[in-house]
Amino acid sequence: MMKSRKQDTGYRLQAAGSRPEASSFELYAAVSFLLIFILMGSALAAENTIETILKDYITTNYPWAEVDISDIQMPGVMPEGRPDRILLEKGLPGKTVFIMEYRNGRRQTVTANVKAFDRVVMSRRAFQKGSFLQKDDLYVTLMDVTRMPKNAVSNPEMIMGRPLNRSIVANMPFVSDMLSDTTQMKKGQRVSLVFEAKGMSITVLGELKENASVGTYAKAMNLSSKKIVAGILTDENTIRVEF
């Protein structure tokens, strides 16, 4: 007896030799492979953009902390891949002309506006001549290299513990000629030990137990109690003791 047309709707016929429907796993695998292929292509393209190529060249060959590139101009179409060599024709920083040389002998001229920034140590507040600077007196920031003063200091350790040979204002970049060499004190020299706490200050006589530089930490003996204390040697005669 023949099945009604209505009853046949519950069946799915497959023609001889036709491909069976893909399983959910196969579809998932295909989509995943396609996404990976697209992402890899996008990453490769990003690595070979003009901006990335120029930035890699500058950061590799120059000591600046950060570089900003804008207004890139290039006649024609950029060749595929990275150039074998980049030559600097003029500029940097500022309006710069680069020559890109490729393996096939092609040369490509690229112009761009390049801003370079480097680290510089700044003063947190105003200081008088003769002040000995410590870590909390300083901060490091980035500054356009075209605005940085000559001999600007980039490492705070070059400043800490050294006296200023001039007065300065707040938020001022440090340069090396603002600082004097520290005075060296020898073990056995007598110093004043200053103890300060809650608005109270006590000064006693002490003796250095090690060679030390003015502005650095030093150990000394309290000649009254015979105890060893430590503090900052603020000048040739005084140690400010920390509790």
- pLDDT value, residue 47: 46
pLDDT tens-place string over residues 145-198:
999 999 999 988 888 777 888 999 999 999 988 988 767 788 999 999 999 877
Fold equal for 27-181 and 184-241: no
Give the pLDDT mean for 121-148: 91
- pLDDT value, residue 69: 93
pLDDT tens-place string over residues 49-74:
889 999 999 999 998 999 999 999 98
Residue that is written with structure tokens 């105003």 in the block: 126
Which among 225, 131, 138 is positioned nearest to 182, based on CA atoms?
A: 131
Give the pLDDT mean for 3-12: 44
DSSP string, 125-148: S-B-TTPBP-GGGEEEEEEETTTS
Confirm if 155 and 175 have CB atoms less than 8 A apart: no
Q: Beta-carbon neighbour count of residue 203 at 10 Å? A: 12
Mean pLDDT of the residues in the chain: 81
- pLDDT value, residue 30: 56
Give SS3 for 176.
helix
Q: Where are the domains positioned within the chain?
A: 27-181, 184-241
Pick the CATH number of 184-241 from 3.60.10.10, 2.60.120.260, 2.30.30.760, 3.40.109.10: 2.30.30.760
Query: Whole-prediction pTM value?
Result: 0.58
- pLDDT value, residue 33: 52
CATH 3.90.1210.10 corresponds to the domain 27-181: yes
pLDDT tens-place string over residues 26-55:
666 655 555 544 444 433 343 458 899 999
pLDDT grade, residue 13 (50/70/90)? very low
